[in-house]
Structures are given as C-alpha cells and as structure tokens.
Amino acid sequence: MRPTALVTGRVQRDRGAFARELAAAGTDLVLVARHADRLEAVRAELTGRCGVAAEVLAADLLDPAGRAAVEARLADPARPVDVLVNGAGLLGAVGALALQGADDEEVKVALNVTAVVRLTNAVLPGMVRRGRGRVVNIASMAAFMPSPGGATYSASKAFVTCFSRAVHEEVGPLGVHVTVVCPGATRTAGRAASGSHRSRMGPLLEPDEVARRALAAVGAGRPVCVPGGAYRVRAAIARHCPGGVYRRLFQRGWRERTARSLTAALTVEADG
C-alpha cells in the first residue's frame, strides 16, 4: 500500500514542487487549495505521469468550514495520511504596521499560524497511534530576522519555527518527525521571466530543490531545514549575532525606508 501525503498551498506555484517530488517517489496525494479547477489540472498531470492516486480537496483554510473539512480528512482513520505538508501561507502587503489594516494582518496570522496549528493537531494523533508519520511546515528565513515592513509575516514564521521544533521533540521519540523549512527567496514564474538569479535576500532557490531538501530532512528526522548554503550562513548569523550588530549588517536599509515611508504617509494624512 502506497503512503499518502496531504499538501496544502498553491499547487501550480512553488508548493507544487512538493506534490511533484512526492508523486515521483510513489506517494499518493491529497491536494488542498481554494480552486478546484487548478487542482484538477495538477491531479491529472501527476496521476498520468507518475501513476499515483490523487484526491482533490478544494478548501479555503481561512474559512472555518473549509478548514474543518481538511482537518476531518487528516484525522480519518480509514484513510490515513502519512505525510502532511503545510504549504499554504500569506505574505500580504508589505509596509509599516501602522499603515496596514488590522483585519489584513489578522488574516496573515489565521493562515500562517492558526491553520498550521490546527492541521498539525489534526494529523498527529493518528500518526502517533501508527508509530510513524512526517509533517513539513513551511516557514521562511524571515523567522530568524524581525523584518521592518513585514512585522506580522516574520513573527508568524517565527511562531511556526518554534512550534514545529517543540512538537518535533514531543513526537520524535514515537516515530513521528516534524520539520520546519525556512527557505530564502524562491524562484517564481515572475522572477524566472525577469531573468534574475538573486533577490535582496540572496540567491534565488529552485522550488524543486527546496522540496527535495525539505523531504530529505523530514525523512532523516531533522527538525529544521534551511535550504541553500548562503541562507544557512545567514540563519546562523541571525541566531548568534548580537541584535544591534545584526540590524546594522542586514536591516539598516529596510529600517530607514520603512521609517521614511511611515513618516511621509502620516504627515500627508495629518496635512489632509
């Protein structure tokens, strides 16, 4: 009997790399995202190419009913899920917190934090009872660096990182491994069209390589995966460098730009 993996996120974009890698390894799939037509296209591609079975579960993880449907599928003892990839996430608008809408920031927390906690919680009891299972939670390099202009996003990814490491310690001795993946800038269709090989954060990572490294890490029982040598160095610096030195090295430009934009916006608002 083939193992089954449930993958959340936009399967036609970088999260699709996880579905492709799992299918190529002979893993059946449950594909979760909002748009059923896009899921069906990916399902047809992967079943035709790899010969695996694939379910489509169209659900919005921001909607309690949609999220409950995914939780029920993860907890179904008759159809066990062996691998969960929590790939759905939201960056949203970038800018100073004082210029963002509170409801928009709450949406980031709901998808980046609440959904990850609830889906992980739904799948773990069955994995523990079976004595095996893998959970991959997608965070970001932003987890290691409080980001001016992206305060809620970086804080949410720091939560996912801390949460995943703690849960890994809880269930690792029982044969279940949880790995948090903290990629840097990853190549997207837009970046590929531009011909760029770098971002402000560093060199662009290929989605397939991120997926391969992430799945290898969770298979080996490693709690944290930072793909790419340049990003591993930067993560190490962020973890161990004094905060003041780190800010001067990496964040000075972002801090100044964010402060200027905030001052300008609030000044215009006051004048108006």
Q: Where are the domains of the chain?
A: 4-271
How far is the C-alpha of 90 from the C-alpha of 103, rounded, in Å? Answer: 14
Dihedral sign for Cα 47, 53, 58, 60, please. Answer: negative
The token pair at 197 is 């090989």
The pLDDT assigned to 132 comes to 97
CB-CB contact of 238 with 145 (8 Å):
yes
How far is the C-alpha of 180 from the C-alpha of 186, rounded, in Å? Answer: 16
Confidence class for position 148, pLDDT limits 50, 70, 90: confident
Residue 45 phi, psi dihedral angles, 5° rounding:
-60, -50
Please state, as a whole number, how many other Cβ atoms lie within 10 Å of the Cβ of residue 232: 15
Q: Which residues contact 195 (CB under 8 A, 6 or more apart)?
A: none
* pLDDT average, residue stretch 107-129: 97
The token pair at 215 is 């799945």
The pLDDT assigned to 248 comes to 59
From 18, 144, 153, 163, the catalytic residue: 153
Confidence class for position 253, pLDDT limits 50, 70, 90: low
Confidence class for position 94, pLDDT limits 50, 70, 90: confident
Confidence class for position 158, pLDDT limits 50, 70, 90: very high
How far is the C-alpha of 223 from the C-alpha of 207, rounded, in Å? Answer: 20
* pLDDT average, residue stretch 126-145: 95
pLDDT in tens, 188-205: 644 444 444 455 567 889
Task: Please count the residues of the chain.
Answer: 272
| Closest C-alpha to 250, from 235, 229, 263 | 235
How far is the C-alpha of 130 from the C-alpha of 40, rounded, in Å? Answer: 30
How far is the C-alpha of 30 from the C-alpha of 151, rounded, in Å? Answer: 32
| Closest C-alpha to 265, from 45, 129, 97, 145 | 97
* pLDDT average, residue stretch 151-156: 94
153 is known as an active-site residue = yes
pLDDT above 80 (res 269): no
H helices then E strands: how many in the chain?
Answer: 11, 7
CB-CB contact of 235 with 161 (8 Å):
no
| Closest C-alpha to 116, from 87, 90, 92, 144 | 87
The pLDDT assigned to 197 comes to 46
CATH architecture, domain defined by 4-271: 3-Layer(aba) Sandwich (3.40)
